[in-house]
Amino acid sequence: MEKPNFDYIKELAGGDEVFEKKLLAIMVDEFPKEKEKYYNSLALGDQKLIIEIVHKLKHKISILGLKKSYETAVEYENNLRVNSSDLENEFKETLSVMTQFLASL
């Protein structure tokens, strides 16, 4: 599995360390809430909400430089739109990797 990194964040910030820190703070704050919302929506079987949250989370996946995982999230979102849960386990693994990475900050 690929590892999260700060490359894209650094590129976005263009050397502005304050902006980098703000973006990371947003990730650390929002990601756990969105991940919890994802798992709750799975438990409820709320397909519309699952799709909405996967859509939001895939952008956070991208921000942490997880290119292959982003592609998987896009495919997973598309699968969900046709009532398929294919790639769910791979998506959950990405969330786990992100959780560990953000917790280490």
Decide if pLDDT at 1 tops 90: no
Q: What is the pLDDT of residues 70-96, one digit of tens each?
A: 999 999 999 999 999 999 999 999 999
> Which H helix or E strand runs over 26?
helix 17-44
- Torsion sign (Cα): 6, 7, 12, 18: positive
pTM of the model: 0.94
Comparing CA positions, the residue from 77, 81, 79, 86 lying closest to residue 58 is: 77
| Alpha-carbon distances of 41 from 49, 62, 64, 65, rounded to whole Å | 6, 22, 24, 26
Decide if pLDDT at 28 tops 90: yes
- At 32, list the tokens: 């756990």
Q: DSSP state, 83?
A: T
pLDDT of residue 36: 98
Domains and CATH numbers, the chain: 7-103 (1.20.120)
Per-residue pLDDT averaged across 32-52, rounded?
97
Decide if pLDDT at 105 tops 90: no
